[in-house]
Amino acid sequence: MFLQRTLRRSSTVKGIGLHTGKPCQLTFRPAPTDIGVHLIKNIDGVSKSVRVYASHVKATTNATTIGNSEFSISTVEHCLSTLAALRIDNAFIEIEGPELPILDGSSLPFFQAIHEAGVIEQDQPRKYIYIKEPIKVEDGDKSAIVYPYNGLRINCTIDFQHPCIGRQSIDIDINEVSFAREIVGARTFGFLRDVEKLRSMGLALGGSFDNVVVLDNDKVLNDGGLRFPDEFVRHKVLDALGDIVTLGAPMMGHLVLFKAGHDLLNRLVRKILQLPDSTIPFEMAEPNYMGDQDRLPWQMI
């Protein structure tokens, strides 16, 4: 059976914030079983904590922000996607600064930091959010749907009126190997035409070619170009994987996204959590990551 996991030891990552441009630092620390993922910040000499959970999502514009009445932290999705892919259930994330560091714009530095720290199994089984029937949210032509599925699978489609993007789709079973090969290095992206507007709003102050894929009207401006031909849709999968960590437990389901961003994902997560009896212990059903021939609907066993 799958047991809960946490970090073997602490690991620190330093950088600047994408939106504030200010120095930021986080330290991953081990946590006990059944506690989940908590963001921790020192405020006036006292450590304050907020759990990564849907009801604590305070904003979804240009990034996901989690907080409470005492503090909030933005741009959490790249870090959280790594915890999800590496099956880390319990962790303390100590933060210095107003947001998490953007680093290279992907999840790769967080992934490397956690591998350096190591991961250990704990003495309690994982509990999953078990999708028993299709659940859907829509906003105009945008949609996010989750179906019953034996594991975690994400099908994502984006559609941008830009010659370097257009319509891109990816369909991937998420596990440690597929995430490391296909998703972890996909960087966030933005358009040169939006920079002035964002900065007038106090956003993207730390953005640069070092941490964002930047596009003008017809091309990618970064030296070296893209890491993947479809890096844009891969990054959207990375973001979505981070956003569903706010369920508070790993999900078993097939997530189908069409032009969906942070807001729609947060609405879907909240809708899932409204359903009764959606969390089951691992012993009652096991996820299968073998491949297409093994994709079966969930049945209670």
- The catalytic residues are 262
Which one-letter DSSP state was computed for residue 123? E
* DSSP string over 275-296: STT-EEEGGG-----S-GGG--
Q: If we measure between CA atoms, which residue out of 92, 97, 110 comes closest to residue 18?
A: 97
Tokens found for residue 86? 């590496």
At 165, give phi and psi (nearest 5°): -120, -70
Tokens found for residue 57? 């999502």
Sign of CA dihedral 56, 58, 60, 62: negative
Give the Å distances, CA to CA, from 122 to 132, 190, 234, 286. Answer: 27, 40, 31, 18
